[in-house]
Every structure is written in structure tokens, then in C-alpha cells.
DNA sequence: CCCAATTTGTTCGTATGTATC
DNA sequence: TGATACATACGAACAAATTGG
């Protein structure tokens, strides 16, 4: 049975990292739930067909992420196992969607600026290229853990004070309401996945090589007029999406 | 400006692999479309803040994947760029969704079996644990390139001949129709992302460390009775999803 | 309280891979 | 093309902590 879960060598990804990724996935999938701890280092080494040192490197990385904690003589305990559910629908709201899961939310304004719309942004917001748009960068945390980093664009004339409103309310929905937009609709969402870039690793407090889920979303008012285009990055080991039809 | 896109060292992922991943993403995003080729090695080396040898290793890997082709004296040409769009809605259909993009589709039956429903599967299909279900493994290709690998479960009594019907028609929709189910609805979809496991690397023809998008989906008939639960894995550098509300 | 088994922690050494110059 | 520095991976051995008889 040994070697069944073997990892691959010399592919530019260190063995300890491949093992860390696999163990993290197993923890997320609840495969070790019965005991609350992961198998002994020697057992994992046997399963993956590597030396115990290599497994230890992997577990050290997971320990650094706060996912496991090793206790001498006992074993390696699972510290944190959380994958937030983020529902996507016509009424997609970050605060309401995550907040319902009994967590403490934060929405931090990282930066904002007014700039002329690029061709891409103008197309999405149905504006002429070069029209002033407000670009807003925000970081969201749940229970103190970063769960998303977004870059949003708003029509500049209509939502002039949105950055300030967002800073105070920490919610896009509330900021919109302050500016007279009582309701809006998620018109389309595109989902992809990629490796985290250095800036995301910093902002989202990820370990290098981590995976981010990327959404590109368009929100419109009830008349179908675009009010926000947003690109948001979620750490894939902390978040998943659900779509209910 | 140099160093803006810098990569990170000593994190279990070799620099050449990080660069290969980033360049592959850039190609997929069409960032080099104007010229049809990627920047010279020395320019990339400058951008990423690494030695030219390291860039060469990255491009060699991309060449091995058939994504770029280096021509002495000219530069490195983009050979293949494809990221399929997979729409998710109440009427999600693989064949119709991808087929509309003018591609050649294949649906290969890898294996099938009848087994007693596990607790998880029984819950999703609204059956009693242990009820016979049909488990069906399939691989889908577009223009000969693997784009998904799925494991599906069907209520055993109602869809006894589905494996055979799928083998002939290469389509779940057609197989359902053969068995008297004219229409069905995608009730819920869960989306997450993770690293590809060795078996997926083989089946989907991926390189190790690749990212897979994972969907867990429930299809029901028009009365809301579950007809299929499926876990499907898509290579993240070949596919993305869109949700229209 | 002691003992044995289990499990993590640490320290040698050696070989190979990665990256720069 | 070497030369150099560091990261990765393996192997063997031993130390320290925990558990259960």
C-alpha cells in the first residue's frame, strides 16, 4: 500500500510543499476529524514515500500557517479547519453572505483613486474610455483572518464619496445606500483560479505557492445600469463558493 | 520599475516554476496578444529580478507543454492559448455550454460500478445510506485536450443503463433522455480550488503543482428529485466559469 | 512510581537541485 | 563552462515528552 499517494520529484515544486498541500487539503476535507490530529510523521513519510525530515518540513509550514500544532510525545494537532462558504446569487452580498455564519467581519480600505477608465473597465461599466472612475482597493477579514482582496471600479460622477463611505461603514452595500443606491444586483460573475502573486501573499497573509480563487463581477442597479466592476481574490484554502439555482 | 513583479525565493517552489506559471497566466489573459510572442528573455529576467538562465528554464518548461516555441534570432512565439468558458446556470449542460464555442467534444467513459451509497452520497441524492447507486467516472476532452474529469453518482434503480447510454452518446443529457428523463435542472453548485493530485495529473495531462477547479454539483428532475451528484475537476489554466444572474 | 511504546525534537553527515556570476 | 552559495532530500542516531499499563 506504500507509495499509493506518492509525490513527484524534480518538477520545480519541492516535495515538502506538495505534501503540505495534500495534508492541508485532507484537513479541509475532514479526513482526520475522528481524532482531531493528523497521522504520525513516520506514517505520513511511509504513505508519501519520503523521509521523515521531508514530512517535518511540510508540517512546519502548516504550523507556520496556524493550521496544525505539534506537541512532543503526543502528535500533531489540527488547530484550524475552516473554509468559509461564499454564496453567489443575484443578491450576492459579502457582509450578509459571510456574516450569517456567525463571524466577525472587517472591511479595510487599502487605497482609492480617481482615474480615467481603461478600455476594459469602460466596457464593463458601459462608459466611454477615459471617463473618470473611482478605483478602490479593499481587504476583508473574518475573525481577523484575511479572506478577500478586491479591486473595484465605480462610475466617478455617480459615486464620488464612496471611498469615504466605505471606510466608515466597512460595507459596499451600506456605502451604496449612503449615496442613494438602496439596492443592486449581481449581474454576472466569472470564476477562475491561479497561483497567488507576491502582493497577494503579503496582503492575504498566505504562504507562497498558495492558490487564489479569482472572481470578476459586475453589479448593476435595478435598471441594469452598471454600478461596480470588481476583481476579487480569495485564498482557496479558506473560501469556497456556492451557487443555488 | 524593475522588481515590481518579483518572485519569491526559498519557498518550496523553484523560481523557474513560479515564472513559468506567471507567464502562462499572462498568455491566457491575452497580455501578449498584440505581438503574438512573449518579451525577450532579458526583459523577463529584468522584470522578475532573476538571471536569464532562470527565465530560460521557465520557457523550456512552457515549450515542453506546447504553449510557446522559441525561434533563434526571432523570439519566443505563443503556440497555444485557450481558456474555455464554462457557464453555470439552472440549465447547466456541458455539451451545450462548451459546444457552442465551436469545438470538438469528447466524453470518455473511464469506468462505472454499482455500489451501496455512502452517507455523503446518500444525503445528496436523498436516499437511504446503502441504497444501490451507480458511480460513473468520465473524462471530457475539447479538441483533444482534457478539460474535465468527473465522478458522478446516480440512483441505481432509476438509471440502471446510464453507463452504457453515456458510452454511446458521450453526453449525460442524451443518456438521461434515453432513459426517459427529458429535462433536468442544476440545483446547486459548490466551487473550490486545490492542487492537482497525481491521478488527476495523469488523466488531465497536467504538470505537477497544477491547479484544479473543483465543482460539486447536484442535478434534479423537474419535480426536485435528485438525479445526479457529481464532483468534477477542471484544469484551472484551461477553464473558467461564468454565472449569469 | 517505573517501564515500555509511541511520537516529536535535534544533530550529525552526505548527495543532489537550484540560482547566480 | 566552471565556481560558489544555498535549498532540498535522505539516512542514522539519539534526546525529550506523553501515554497507558
Convert the pLDDT of each residue in B155-200 to its tens digit: 999 999 999 999 999 999 999 999 999 999 999 999 999 888 878 8
How deeply is B180 buried, as exposed, middle or buried, from its count of CB atoms within 10 A (0-12, 13-18, 19+)? exposed
Q: How far apart are CA B49 and CA B159, in angstroms?
A: 58
Predicted local confidence at residue A196, as pLDDT: 83
Q: Is the CB atom of residue B54 positioned under 7 angstroms from any atom of strand C?
A: yes
Convert the pLDDT of each residue in B118-151 to its tens digit: 988 999 999 999 999 999 999 999 888 899 999 9
Predicted local confidence at residue B199, as pLDDT: 83
Cβ atoms of residues A42 and A25 within 8 Å: no
A5 CA vs D5 C1’ separation (Å): 34
Q: Is the CB atom of residue A15 positioned under 7 angstroms from any atom of strand D?
A: yes
Whether pLDDT at B2 is above 50: no
Convert the pLDDT of each residue in A39-58 to its tens digit: 999 999 999 999 999 999 99
Q: Which residues of B92-102 are buried (b: 16+ CB within 10 A; e: fewer)?
A: bbbbebbeeee
Whether pLDDT at B245 is above 80: no
Which of the four pLDDT bands, split at 50, 70 and 90, describes residue B202?
confident
Convert the pLDDT of each residue in B48-94 to its tens digit: 888 998 999 899 888 877 788 888 888 888 887 667 889 998 888 88
Q: Using the beta-carbon criterion (under 8 Å), do A245 and B25 form an inter-chain contact?
A: no
Whether pLDDT at B8 is above 70: no
Predicted local confidence at residue B99, as pLDDT: 66
Q: Is the CB atom of residue A70 positioned under 7 angstroms from any atom of strand C?
A: yes
Q: Using the beta-carbon criterion (under 8 Å), do B242 and A11 form an inter-chain contact?
A: no
Question: Cell triple for residue A154?
Answer: 465605480
Per domain, the residue ranges of chain A are: 2-78, 84-243
Q: Which chain A residue has its CA at the smallest distance from B5's CA?
A: A198
Residues of chain A with pLDDT under 70: 1-10, 82, 99-102, 208-209
Coil, strand, or helix at residue B149? strand
Q: How far apart are CA A180 and CA B162, in angstroms?
A: 54
Nucleotides of C under 7 A from a protein CB: 5-11, 17-21
Predicted local confidence at residue A97, as pLDDT: 75
Q: Averaging pLDDT over each range in A150-154, A234-238, B9-13, B201-205, which range is the top one?
A: A150-154
Closest listed residue to residue B229, CA positions, set B182, B180, B168, B172: B172
pTM (predicted TM-score): 0.82
Predicted local confidence at residue A3, as pLDDT: 40
User: What is the side-by-side strand order in the sheet with B105-116?
Assistant: A84-88, A239-244, B185-195, B211-220, B226-235, B145-155, B132-142, B105-116
CA A1 vs CA A29, A48, A51, A53, B239: distances in Å = 22, 10, 17, 21, 34
Provide the strand spans (E) within chain B. Answer: 37-38, 68-71, 75-78, 84-88, 105-116, 132-142, 145-155, 185-195, 211-220, 226-235, 239-244
Q: How far apart are CA A184 and CA A83, in angstroms?
A: 27
- CATH topology classification for B2-78: Arc Repressor Mutant, subunit A (1.10.10)
Q: Domain B84-243 class?
A: alpha beta
Predicted local confidence at residue B4, as pLDDT: 42
Predicted local confidence at residue B102, as pLDDT: 62
Amino acid at each position: 500500500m506504500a507509495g499509493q499517494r506518492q509525490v513527484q520529484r524534480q518538477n520545480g515544486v519541492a516535495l515538502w510543499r506538495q505534501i503540505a498541500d495534500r495534508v492541508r487539503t485532507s484537513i479541509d476535507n475532514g479526513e482526520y476529524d475522528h481524532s482531531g490530529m493528523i497521522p504520525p510523521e513516520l506514517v505520513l513519510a511511509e504513505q508519501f514515500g519520503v523521509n521523515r525530515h521531508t514530512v517535518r518540513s511540510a508540517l512546519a509550514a502548516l504550523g507556520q500557517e496556524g493550521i496544525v500544532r505539534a506537541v512532543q510525545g503526543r502528535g500533531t494537532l489540527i488547530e484550524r479547519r475552516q473554509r468559509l462558504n461564499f454564496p453567489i446569487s443575484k443578491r450576492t452580498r459579502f457582509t450578509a453572505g459571510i456574516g450569517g455564519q456567525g463571524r466577525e467581519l472587517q472591511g479595510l480600505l487599502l487605497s482609492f483613486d480617481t482615474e480615467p477608465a481603461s478600455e476594459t473597465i469602460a466596457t464593463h461599466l458601459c462608459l466611454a474610455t477615459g471617463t473618470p472612475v473611482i478605483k478602490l482597493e479593499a481587504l476583508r477579514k473574518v475573525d481577523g483572518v484575511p479572506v478577500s482582496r478586491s479591486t473595484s471600479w465605480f462610475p466617478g460622477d455617480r459615486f464620488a464619496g464612496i471611498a469615504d463611505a466605505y471606510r466608515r461603514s466597512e460595507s459596499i452595500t451600506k456605502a451604496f445606500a449612503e449615496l442613494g443606491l438602496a439596492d443592486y444586483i449581481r449581474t454576472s460573475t466569472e470564476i477562475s483560479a491561479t497561483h497567488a502573486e507576491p502582493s497577494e501573499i503579503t496582503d492575504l497573509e498566505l504562504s507562497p505557492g498558495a492558490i487564489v480563487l479569482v472572481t470578476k463581477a459586475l453589479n448593476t442597479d435595478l435598471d441594469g445600469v452598471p454600478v461596480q466592476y470588481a476583481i476579487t481574490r480569495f485564498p482557496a484554502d479558506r473560501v469556497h463558493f456556492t451557487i443555488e439555482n
